[in-house]
Amino acid sequence: MLRNRNVWILLIGEFIAGVGLWLGIIGNLEFMQEKVPSDFIKAVILASGLLAGVALGPLAGKITDQLKKKTVMLASGFVRSISVLFMLVAIETGSVWWMVVFLVFIQISAAFYFPALQAAIPLVVKEQQLLQLNGIHMNVSTLSRVLGTAIAGVFLTIMSLSTIYLLSLTAYALLFGITWLLKIEEEEPERLPDSAKKLNKGFSEVFPIIKELPIVLMTLVLTFVPLLFIGGFNLMVINISEIQDSASIKGWIYAAEGISFMVGAFYIKKLGDKFSPYSILFTFSFIIGISQFLLYFADIPLITIFAFIVFGFAVGCFFPTAATIFQTRVPKEFHGRFFSFRNMLDRLIFQIVLLLTGFMLDMIGLQLMVVVFGILSFGMTFAFYRRFRKIKVAEASPPDVAASNE
C-alpha cells in the first residue's frame, strides 16, 4: 500500500493542510481572546461558519457524486485558499465580522472537500487495506495538528498574527498543487442525464440505504458520543487554561491528546483483527464518557492531561473503525451523498454542542458541565447498545425458529 503513489499524495497533502488548518485555528482562538470576552459569543462566532457548511451539505453530496472526486477537491482547495484573505482583512481592521466571513468560506470549502476525500480513499487502495489506510491517514492528520499547534504557539511569540495566517495560506496553496498530482481511476457517471433527477432529491435516496444497513445506522448514531466532547474542545481548552492560570497547559493538552490519538489509530489494526467493529465502537464510546468525568478534576494539571490522553486513544480507535464501516458497507455510487450527509450531520451536531458548551461554561462552569456530558455519553452508549442487542436477537430469531421447526 505504501508503494502507492496516490496514497503518498493524499498523506502528504493531509499533513500540509493540517498544519495550515491548525495554524489558523490557534490564530482564531488568539484573535477571539483579544476581541470577545464571552465563551458563548465565541461559540456563536465559530458556529456561524458551521451553519454555512450544513446548509450546503445536500448540494455538496450531489456534486461529489456527479463530478470526479479530484475536481471537487481542487475547487474546494481553491476556495479554502481564498478564504484566508478575509481573515487578513479581519486582523487589519480588528473586525470580528470579517472573521465570520472567513469562517463561512472555509467551512463551505470543507463541506465539499471532506466528502470528496472520503469517497476518493476507497478508489486508491483495496478494500482490505482501508482500515490500515484510515488509521494512517488519521495519524498524519493528528501529527499535523500536534505540530501545527506547537508551531503556532511558538510563532505567536515571535511574529504577528497576520504572518501566521500567511503561513496558513501557503500551506493551503501547497495542498492545491499536490492535489493536481492525484491520478484516480474514476468512471464517468454512465447515466448522468437519467440520474440527474434522482440526484436532485438530495439525501432522500440515502435514507433508505442507511435504514437497510443496521451497522451503518448504529455507527452514524454512535458518532454523537465523541462529537459531544469534540464540539466544545477548543472552548474547554481555553477554559482549562483560565482555571489553571496557565497558558502552557493548552500546548500540553493538544500534544497529549494528539499523540494518544496517533497511538490509538496505529493500534486499531490489531484490535480490528481480534474484535468486531461493534465491540470496538461500544467499548471506546464508553471510555470517552470516562474521559469526560475525569475533567471534573480540571484544576489538577496531571489529571487533566490524563483525561485527554484517554480521550485521544479512544477516538483514535473509534474514528478509523467508523470510517472503514462507512466506506465498505455503503455502495460506492452513493458515497458522495452519504459522506456529505454525514459531514452535514456532524457539523450540525458540532454546532449544537459548541453553542451548548459555550452556554454551559458561562452558566455552570466546566466541572459541572463535563459531569452532565459524561452522563449523556454513558446514557447514549447504553441505549444504543440495548438497541443493538435487540437487532441482533431479531436477526437471529428466524433461523433459530426454522431450525426448531425442523
pLDDT at 302: 92
Judge whether residue 307 has pLDDT over 90: yes
Give CA–CA dist 178/15, Å, rounded: 11
CB-CB contact of 164 with 149 (8 Å): no
Tens-place pLDDT, residues 246-268: 777 877 887 888 888 888 878 88
**What's the whole-number mean pLDDT along residues 173-190?**
75
Give yes or no for residue 309 having a pLDDT over 90: yes
* Contact between residue 308 and residue 257 where contact means Cβ atoms under 8 Å apart: yes
Top-confidence residue, 63 or 90: 90
Q: Mean pLDDT over residues 1-28, rounded?
A: 79
Please say if the pLDDT value at position 240 is more than 50: yes
Helix (H, G, I), strand (E, B) or coil at 206: helix
Residue 53's identity, in one-letter code, is: G
pLDDT bracket for residue 210 (50, 70, 90): confident
- Mean pLDDT throughout 40-62? 73
Helix axes 366-405, 214-222, angle to 10 degrees: 170
Non-local (6+) Cβ contacts of 339 within 8 A are 61, 64, 114, 115, 118, 119, 326
User: Scanning the structure block, which residue is given the C-alpha cell 466544545?
Assistant: 232
Question: Lowest-confidence range among 4-8, 37-41, 226-230, 353-357?
Answer: 37-41
Pick the CATH number of 5-180+201-398 from 1.20.1250.20, 3.40.718.10, 3.90.1150.10, 3.20.20.20: 1.20.1250.20
pLDDT band at 290 (very low <50, low <70, confident <90, very high): very high
Residues 294-306 have pLDDT tens digits of 999 988 889 999 9
Q: pLDDT digits over 105-146, tens only?
A: 888 888 788 778 877 777 777 766 676 777 777 777 777 776
Dihedral of CA 46/47/50/51: which sign? Answer: negative
User: DSSP assignment, residue 188?
Assistant: P
